[in-house]
Amino acid sequence: MTGLAPIDGLALLAIAAKAAGYAAALLAMGGVLFDAAFRRLADPAVLRLARRLAAGAAVAGLAVLAARFGIRAARISGMGLEGATDPTMLGFVWQSPLGTAAIWRGVGEAAILAVLLPGAGLWVAVGGAVAVGASYAQVGHTLGDPRAALAGLLVLHLLAVAFWVGALAPLRRAAQAPDGAALLHRFGVVAAGVVALLAAAGIALAWLLSGSLLALLGTAYGWGLLAKVAVVAALLGLAALNKWRLVPALAAGAPGAPAALRRSIAVEGAAVFLIFLATAAITTVTTPPVKL
């Protein structure tokens, strides 16, 4: 298929590592954004969970980032896994856009750890979340033209996704809290705007990268993107079910509502990881049509 690179063991390893990196980065960013958005409404236990997940994901993200350097060196060296520790190959990777992205992401994820500190620590962490988002604009398809528009749209898209992803575990915890329905309802209201931003930025990115939406058809990049969109559409349907049926049932004290909502949020989490895998595959082994 047009635009599809060879897929071998190292490519699969690169996809897995990239998906893990997405998960860690977006959980770290999202936990911070959740804390900033709902710190006056959420139960303290829910906020503590968000902060701890953000900090833990930031540490995991740093480890995954180091692993990705080795995998990238192995892929470009032609030496197999031996190339993962070759100083020359690692130097090439460091001098590439991935090295620039690593600086942004490393600084950002380190700053996110400040979410565990009182006072201004949260706002340092928010700055770190923005830096992590900006790191993804230093590498990949957004290096093309129009550079500023692509980078800005990507960062907005990632912040919107992170807000959603980082909220899943705290909201699942909130479903057990006596006053959790108020937080879940408020999240649904805020999420409506976030989803609109996510969709608008995603569509604009696809348009700028492909030249036209019709150009996506018949290419590996296009089919990968369509698969991702299909999972996102299903995820939005599930989120709508939560907002319009399960959250009101929780607020009304319906028997079994907390358990049903927790199960639904768990399914959302699984679907999100499928999106990470699809995105990792798209950005690792395919090329946007405009660049073919």
Rounded CA gap, 72 and 102, in Å? 13
Inter-residue contact 70 to 86 (CB < 8 Å): no
Cβ 59 vs Cβ 28: under 8 Å: no
pLDDT, one tens digit per residue, over 80-102 is: 777 778 888 888 888 888 889 99
Do residues 92 and 73 touch, judged by C-beta distance below 8 A?
A: yes
CA distance 63 to 138: 19
The whole-number pLDDT of residue 214 equals 64
What's the pLDDT at 63?
93
- Please provide residue 147's backbone torsions phi and psi, each rounded to the nearest 5 degrees: -55, -50
Asked if residues 104 and 43 have their Cβ atoms less than 8 Å apart, the reply is: no
How high is the pLDDT of residue 151? 86
The residue whose two tokens read 């980032």 is 65
DSSP conformational letter for 93: H
Task: Tell me the Ramachandran region of residue 104: left when phi exceeds 0, alpha when psi lies from -120 to 50, beta otherwise.
Answer: alpha
- Indicate the SS3 state at residue 2: strand
* CB-CB contact of 114 with 125 (8 Å): yes
| Separation of alpha carbons 291 and 204, rounded Å | 17
pLDDT in the model for residue 43? 86
The stretches in the chain having pLDDT less than 50 are 291-292
Q: What are phi and psi of 176, to 5 degrees?
A: -90, -15
Task: Give me the long-range contacts of 55-59 (CB less than 8 A, separation at least 24).
Answer: 55/28, 55/31, 55/112, 55/113, 55/115, 55/116, 57/23, 57/24, 57/25, 57/27, 57/28, 57/31, 58/24, 58/28, 58/109, 58/110, 58/112, 58/113, 58/128, 59/109, 59/113
Tens digits of residue pLDDT in 201-212: 777 777 776 666
Evaluate the omega torsion of the peptide bond into residue 146 and state whether it is cis, within 30 degrees of 0.
yes
Report the predicted TM-score, pTM, of the whole model to 2 decimal places: 0.85
Give the number of residues written for the chain. Answer: 292
